[in-house]
Structure 1
Amino acid sequence: MRIARPRAARMFVAALAIGLIASGCASDRDNEESGGDSEVFVFGAAGDPAALDPALGSDGETFRVTRQAFETLLEHEPGGTELVPGLAREWSSNEEGTEWTFQLQEGVTFHDGEALTGEVVCQNFDRWYNWAGTYQNTTLSYYYQTVFGGFAENESEDTPEPNYVGCEAPDELTATITVAEPSANYPGGFSLQAFAMHSPKSLEAYAADNPSGEGEDITFPAYSQEAGDLAGTGPFRITEWNKGNGEVTLEAFDDYWGETKPGVDELVFRTIPEESARRQALQAGDIHGFDLVAPADVRTLEDEGFQVPVRGVFNILYLGITQDKQPALAELPVRQAIAHALDRQNIVDTQLPEGGVQATQFIPDTVAGYSENVQTYEHDPELAQQLLAEAGAEDLTVEFCYPTEVTRPYMPAPADIYELLRADLEAVGVTVEPRPLTWNPDYQEATRSGGCDIYLLGWTGDFNEAYNFLGTWFDGYQQEWGFENEEIFDLLTEVRQEPDVAAREALYQEANEAIMEFLPGVPISSSPPSIAFSPDVNPPTVSPLTQENFAEVSFK
């Protein structure tokens, strides 16, 4: 993919910057290859998107791309976690929290020329509600099931009951969404990229194409793997996905309705799985920015003149345990032994950037509902061995899954973190069988379908509500955890339906304490991820939710 020179009006300033800094600027150097004068911003991504339809996504690499082209009813303030208007200029609910009414922005046009109306909003929500077949697999409908429950006709007894009731459009710029029960997921859930709006023409094209497969063998629908039928309302439109080269190309949308118009003509997300390779590409001037800077590289890049802003802490890394994969893991003393075996502070000290902390529970301390009274599990190899012996599990063998070809905000070096944790487990007599898997789609499918004994995963909050963390994992049976605990399930059902914010906070604390006593997995750490940009770039406002808006990017 070519990287073109900035427009003539900016070339002189960029050239001066290059002359003062050892690293070159690709936007200038590669102009001779392209022969053009369009501004192209290239960002080094840690992994490929799973699909170009955000409704089918569940990971940050997918949403980083789709967020630039597809917009949601609600958004978050730049650089923060407060909800602000998106495609809806106003929103409200009834007293019970079961009817959510959205007054839409005027003059919003999709990339294919269609207009955004209340009826179009309803068409999108009704599409998700009526998904059938492979769409009902959580690999494809993870966020829909998490926020809105099941479907018009559930095809599996494991699928939750639907909470979505319906959508009405009383006039052209109004949509009212009705749910059966109030939830702590609302209104924050309406900001999720998975519920971004698609044009009516796109929806019609999508209907002719279906996914296939099940379990760890899912084939995404063809429309989601190419740019052709996709049309959102965002500042960029997706024009190409070159999977062979790991590049997604987006072009500025001239008729964008919002105030923040694109600052560059083209936006390219180039997949560079290894962090060191992304850093080298930035230093060489082949890209203009990349995410998830290795902690050891931050000072080096800053000394070389690069911009390295740091996001706020809003994530959790954990060791997941699938209890119904093998009987020993369903025994609490065995899970406690695993927790005591792990030197989590060593992970913080050696693998995380400055500001990283050891986690005591499944939410970071920046989220309301954090408890100071949870049961903790200090690094104690002797106690771990004792617990294993008492449980008759001295010869425990576990398959340990970890992701390759990816870096996550909560997990800057998956293979390195795996090696440290493997050594901790083997030090107390646990035999570890490694199972490395590529992030998209193999790793996500294997962990979500309960295919690993233990595994590394994490979460960056989608919105500022503890239920977005706890409810995501523990509000009912899920294959990736493989346990039944009605006390925890009922407690999270209660907190989900509690409309009073203060009362919810107290219930969250109670839930955190119950979860850490039961110990379904081991929270490891929270981390403030860094993102890097070349000196000639005006970067976007960094987001603790990793929801950067690349329309804010321009060249100096």
Structure 2
Amino acid sequence: MFTKSSRKPLGLLAVAASLTLVATACAESDRADGSGDDSQPFVFASAGDITALDPFLASDGETFRYSRQVFQTLLEHESGGSEIVGGLAESWDQSDDGTVWTFNLQQGVKFHDGDDLNAEVVCANFDRWFNLSGAYQSSNNSYYWQKIFGGFAENDEAYAAPDPRFVSCDAEDEFTAVIEVSEYSSLYPGGFSLAAFGIMSPTSLEAMEGQEITGEEGNPNLPEYTQVPGTVAGTGPFTVEEWNQDQGEITLKRFDDYWGDPAGFENMIIRAIPDENARRQALEAGDIHGYDLVAPADVGPLQEAGFEVPTRDVFNVLYLAYHQDDEALADLEVREALSHAVNRQRIVDTILPEGGEVASQFHPDTLDGWSPDVREIEYDPELAAEKLADAGQEDLTVEFCYPTEVTRPYMPAPKDIFDVISEDLQEAGVTVEAKSFEWAEYINQTDSGNCPLYLLGWTGDYNDAYNFIGTWFSTPNSAWGLDDEELFDKMEEVSTNPDADERIAGYQELNEMVMDVLPGLPISSSPPSIAFSGDVNPPNVSPLTQENFSEASWK
């Protein structure tokens, strides 16, 4: 079961820091009192730069943070929650067998370039995605399409895309789009809310036509339209004004013809500041007005200094992955030994924010399908050493990868977490060879199977267990080196079962199966914090990290 951590004392250094922050917050408040002018740019610091202006080509949270302000999807999540609500679709319905989805669109919606939203435009977007060819079919360039809708109209053998689940999209009338998929799946309706599927204008689609992805696999040269502001238009509360890639900064402008409530800021700047200390210092100095992924040790001092630091609900999991292409890690007894060696409670107590929990399985207990009956992995370094000896690996040496210059919602301090786990493994007799990569390269290395042991995690995209365990354990993939047909077949059976009660029971069984196979060790779930200056009315914070910044405003 999960164990709550207790709040840690601030200590003398933190108290001193909080006094400095008080002075900073007061200065910030004095600066802001005379403003109240919504034309003042709101500057928000993210942990990394965006990768492209087209979210379809992305799989990273920073690109999606930007794109949700600019593009809208058929469905979305309620503000500050995880329940599915209408987006560009005012309402929706599904057939009894779950294969036909009917979306009744909002009327009077305009794109940033003046085009009108209608059902034909929605279907033109889905048809474009379905008919992409060449390097677009690489999973690196169409990750979420392949996860949700499978492959393409004509799969290119060079990219090994899965069979398509998408069948068709038809405009039943001007404001009714009907999308058919091949079978019921728990991927829907959540999949229709993913930021990767932001609807673009007809003029945008025309501008994209014929533009190809070139370069090498894993190091693509993206088309010009993905780099030049003004080429792609959405329906969101902000438009793209400028993207300075050299400075890692994108500038958004309020869209005055937005069909919903107008944005509280006339201009918003999203600035990439990878280092969490630098983000905090920029907020203290008044250079920015908010930032994400606050270091746990900074939450208390910032709050005491008058900054707003709302905390999201837990909706993520951090794990230690065991890549089974490694000869030693292919042995279940070795994986069990390493798991017993790791003191997960120590990580929760010393590194994670208040509310962090030890994870017993590969998704948080807030999701249906979490099982109370998974096998427990107790911290026991002596047992770990015994199992290594029994497996003939008492002198095991393993390469352990971790990311640098990054923080993630599930992983607030990667190097600190790496250090704790390394010490634990060494105590059990394992020799650790450390290997680090910057974030973008780290993802390429882990996805390609080049790291026998590594840290990674997931923040849920939508409220279904499959979004966690199905993402990892539904098919063979190079990130895990796992080949378990029984598990894959069970995942397919459960995820396509339209009976909700049976599906939930199936997910519980799947969680038990996964922990028996032990492809990795779930470490923890963590409630990430986001900070704002005292003169900002923050947006509702989302457990899915899907904030709508048009809700925010100056006080």
The TM-score range, normalised by the shorter chain, is: over 0.9
Shift of 1:359: 0.3
Where in structure 2 are there 5+ consecutive unaligned residues?
1-21
Q: Which segment is superposed worse, 453-462 or 515-524?
A: 453-462
Residue 337 of structure 2 corresponds to 337
* Partners of 1:171 and 1:438 in 2: CA distance: 49
Residue 44 of structure 2 corresponds to 43
How many residue pairs get aligned? The number is 532
Residue 166 of structure 1 corresponds to 168
Q: Which segment is superposed worse, 153-162 or 499-508?
A: 153-162
Residue 4 of structure 1 corresponds to none
Shift of 1:339: 1.0
Residue 327 of structure 2 corresponds to 327
User: Does structure 2 conserve the Cα–Cα contact (< 8 Å) formed by 1:320 and 1:454?
Assistant: yes
Q: Which amino acid aligns with 1:314?
A: F
Q: 1:200 to 1:434 in 2, by over 3 A?
A: farther
Q: Deviations over 1:127-163 (max 9, x none)?
A: 2112222222222211111111111222247422111
Residue 544 of structure 1 corresponds to 543
Residue 555 of structure 1 corresponds to 554
Residue 211 of structure 1 corresponds to 213
Residue 367 of structure 2 corresponds to 367
Q: Which segment is superposed worse, 261-270 or 401-410?
A: 401-410
Helix, strand or coil at the partner of 1:276: helix
Q: Deviations over 1:308-356 (max 9, x none)?
A: 11111111011122212x2222111111122112111111111111000
Residue 384 of structure 1 corresponds to 384
Shift of 1:447: 1.8
Q: Which amino acid aligns with 2:387?
A: L
Q: Which segment is superposed worse, 62-71 or 152-161?
A: 152-161
* Partners of 1:455 and 1:479 in 2: CA distance: 13
Over 6 Å off, 4+ runs: none
Q: 1:400 to 1:127 in 2, by over 3 A?
A: farther
Helix, strand or coil at the partner of 1:44: strand
Matches within 5 A, 1:265-414: 265-324=266-325, 326-414=326-414
Q: 1:126 to 1:384 in 2, by over 3 A?
A: same
Matches within 5 A, 1:173-212: 173-212=175-214
* Partners of 2:497 and 2:92 in 1: CA distance: 20
* Partners of 2:105 and 2:303 in 1: CA distance: 43
Helix, strand or coil at the partner of 1:61: helix
Q: Which amino acid aligns with 1:500?
A: D
Matches within 5 A, 1:415-454: 415-439=415-439, 441-454=440-453
Residue 495 of structure 1 corresponds to 494
Helix, strand or coil at the partner of 1:244: coil
Q: Deviations over 1:520-553 (max 9, x none)?
A: 1111000111111111001100111111100011
* Partners of 2:329 and 2:196 in 1: CA distance: 33
User: Does structure 1 conserve the Cα–Cα contact (< 8 Å) formed by 2:49 and 2:63?
Assistant: yes
Provide the TM-score with structure 2 as the length reference. 0.92
Where in structure 1 are there 5+ consecutive unaligned residues?
1-17
User: Does structure 1 conserve the Cα–Cα contact (< 8 Å) formed by 2:55 and 2:63?
Assistant: yes
Q: Does 1:470 align with 2:461?
A: no
1:229 to 212, 228, 231: 231
Q: Which segment is superposed worse, 340-349 or 361-370?
A: 340-349
* Partners of 2:371 and 2:243 in 1: CA distance: 44
* Partners of 1:176 and 1:263 in 2: CA distance: 34
User: Does structure 1 conserve the Cα–Cα contact (< 8 Å) formed by 2:25 and 2:533?
Assistant: no
Residue 457 of structure 2 corresponds to 458
Q: Which amino acid aligns with 1:295?
A: P
Q: 1:469 to 1:70 in 2, by over 3 A?
A: same
* Partners of 1:153 and 1:356 in 2: CA distance: 45
Residue 249 of structure 2 corresponds to 247
Shift of 1:214: 4.6
Shift of 1:20: 9.9
Helix, strand or coil at the partner of 1:525: strand
User: Does structure 2 conserve the Cα–Cα contact (< 8 Å) formed by 1:134 and 1:214?
Assistant: no
Shift of 1:25: 5.7
Q: Does 1:505 align with 2:504?
A: yes
Q: 1:416 to 1:506 in 2, by over 3 A?
A: same
Q: Deviations over 1:9-43 (max 9, x none)?
A: xxxxxxxxx99943426975999xxxx98221000
Shift of 1:426: 2.4
Residue 83 of structure 2 corresponds to 82
Shift of 1:47: 0.9
* Partners of 1:27 and 1:487 in 2: CA distance: 62
* Partners of 1:20 and 1:213 in 2: CA distance: 47
